[in-house]
């Protein structure tokens, strides 16, 4: 890859669309995300994500790679865009939340890219995050302040991850946990549950959702004490309530505080 991102030989700079397509169901794809996929001449993504949008990319050149090949995907996107083509880098959820957007910008900084009119263009198209998808399925648990933490230690030291869990738990944030467990990583979720249990009641509501809005969707509403009794994996996202979160008729709700400030039903 060259050290600059100037226009191609044709004189037209290419573009990278970094597309968050939401949980996977096409009805949750934004209009702009769909348009960005349609206008992209080349699609690049993790194989599982590419399969989720297969109906929208028929006839396009597709470059699909496996796990832990994020850097290669980012570099390839820039390489292809330098030829003057429009590249669509697809991510589930939002590409700016544990997604490819940050990595692509990191790679850009190594090239001397300034974002000028004669350079490769970049657009980040937002999508519905996994955390928002899970929240929608189980009620309204994120109505007050919350913290989102990934338990994967591939890129972040475990000591730092657990420090963040402790801070969020002690501050009474609703906590969303991404990448809670894998075949290799089995103890992080146990350690996180133990830390949070020091600051929350055993009856604190917990939502465990696998593959939100996809065919393999599975929803469990339980509590902090019993959350480890259920299946948890890489496709699972977990929401742990704060001290005010409650469950009503199968819905997990975190009050914002309106009831204590305003009358919810005014008398005539």
pLDDT, one tens digit per residue, over 73-109 is: 999 999 999 999 999 999 999 999 999 999 999 999 9
Residue 90 and residue 153 in one domain: no
Q: Any idea what the CATH number is for the domain that residue 148 is in?
A: 3.30.950.10
Calculate helix-pair angle for 158-170, 188-197, nearest 10 degrees.
Answer: 30
pLDDT tens by residue, 47-62: 999 999 999 999 999 9
Q: What is the pLDDT of residue 68?
A: 85
Residue 5 domain-assigned (yes or no)? no
Residue 78 and residue 102 in one domain: yes
Residue 96 and residue 156 in one domain: no
* 103 to 23, 73, 110: CA distances (angstroms): 21, 10, 11
Residue 71 and residue 180 in one domain: no
Residue 193 and residue 242 in one domain: yes
Residue 230 and residue 119 in one domain: no
Q: What is the pLDDT of residue 3?
A: 39
Share of the chain above pLDDT 70, in %: 92
The band of 2, judged by pLDDT with boundaries at 50, 70 and 90, is very low
Domain that holds residue 163: 131-253
Rounded Cα distance between 9 and 7, Å, is: 7
Domains: count for the chain:
2
Residue 196 and residue 154 in one domain: yes
Residue 149 and residue 248 in one domain: yes
CA dihedral 116, 13, 65, 54 (to 10 degrees): 110
Q: What is the pLDDT of residue 10?
A: 53
The band of 20, judged by pLDDT with boundaries at 50, 70 and 90, is very high
Q: What pTM was estimated for this model as a whole?
A: 0.89
Instruction: Tell me which of 128, 150, 165 is where a domain ends.
Output: 128
Please check the confidence at residue 45 and state whether its pLDDT lies above 90.
Answer: yes
Residue 164 and residue 215 in one domain: yes
CB 96 within 8 A of CB 102: yes
């Amino acid at each position: 890859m060259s050290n600059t991102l100037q226009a191609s030989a044709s004189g037209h700079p290419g573009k990278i669309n970094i597309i968050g397509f939401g949980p996977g169901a096409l009805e949750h794809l934004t209009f702009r995300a769909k348009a960005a996929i349609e206008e992209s001449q080349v699609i690049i993504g993790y194989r599982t994500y590419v399969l989720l949008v297969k109906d929208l990319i028929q006839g396009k050149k597709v470059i699909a790679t496996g796990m832990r090949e994020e850097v290669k995907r980012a570099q390839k996107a820039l390489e292809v865009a330098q030829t003057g083509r429009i590249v669509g880098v697809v991510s589930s959820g939002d590409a700016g939340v544990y997604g490819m957007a940050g990595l692509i910008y990191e790679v850009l900084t190594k090239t001397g890219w300034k974002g000028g009119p004669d350079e490769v263009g970049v657009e980040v198209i937002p999508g519905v995050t996994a955390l928002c998808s899970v929240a929608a399925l189980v009620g309204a648990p994120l109505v007050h302040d919350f913290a989102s933490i990934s338990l994967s230690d591939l890129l972040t030291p475990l000591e730092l991850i657990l420090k963040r869990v402790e801070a969020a738990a002690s501050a009474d944030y609703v906590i969303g946990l991404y990448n809670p467990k894998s075949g290799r990583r089995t103890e992080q979720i146990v350690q996180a549950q133990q830390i949070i249990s020091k600051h929350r009641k055993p009856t604190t509501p917990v939502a465990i959702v696998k593959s939100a809005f996809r065919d393999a969707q599975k929803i469990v509403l339980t509590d902090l004490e019993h959350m480890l009794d259920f299946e948890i994996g890489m496709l699972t996202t977990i929401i742990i309530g704060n001290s005010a979160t409650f469950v009503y008729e199968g819905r997990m709700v975190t009050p914002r505080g309106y009831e204590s400030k305003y009358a919810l039903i005014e008398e005539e």
